[in-house]
Amino acid sequence: MRKIVARRELVKDIAFIIIGVFIALALSRAGVIDEIIALFGNSEVASFVSGMFFTSVFTIAPASVALGHIAMHTPAYIVALWGACGAVCGDLILFYFIKDRFALDVMNSFGSTFTRHLLASFHVGFYKWMAPILGALIIASPLPDEFGITLLGFSKTKTLVLIPVSFIGNILGIYLIVWFGSLL
């Protein structure tokens, strides 16, 4: 029964992601994102706030669009730097408050034996040092940071490791998105 509920929650999460993408596209085409960015009056502050929203699976699409819009009038390295600072704050919020919900949905979707084996694998040998690297790569990728944060949480990564991993991963990810957006 718990498996069915967890899978239903996972499907609901995926539906919210898809809805978020469509909302971001609609807001961008309507000019609403430009209006919101103009409210901040400062591209650094707008980049920081957009970076905070760049971390969540539910807000990554509008945040990516906003970062792209900011980069039209601001150098990409400034957008990436301030966006990464905001993303670190967002990742810390996820790490402390939200990571358990997403991890719980994923883990409850599988059987308890699989869950025990998976969790045990993050505490020994190869996976113990590989999980933070894989988490950092996920944070740097266009994938939502929850996946990387979940991996870092499973491997019991310390906050002092999370902060530089998050900053480096997000500055690379945001810069690549801004750079790719400038090509279009």
Which residues contact residue 79 at a Cβ distance below 8 angstroms, ignoring those fewer than 6 apart?
43, 47, 67, 70, 71, 174, 175, 178
The two tokens of residue 81 are 């730097």
Find, among 88, 99, 93, the residue nearest to 146 by Cα. 99
Which residues contact residue 96 at a Cβ distance below 8 angstroms, ignoring those fewer than 6 apart?
none
Helix pair angle (125-140, 159-183), 10° resolution? 40
Length of the chain: 184
pTM exceeds 0.75: no
**Tens-digit pLDDT profile for residues 142-176:** 677 777 887 777 677 788 888 888 898 889 989 99
Q: What is the mean pLDDT of the chain?
A: 77
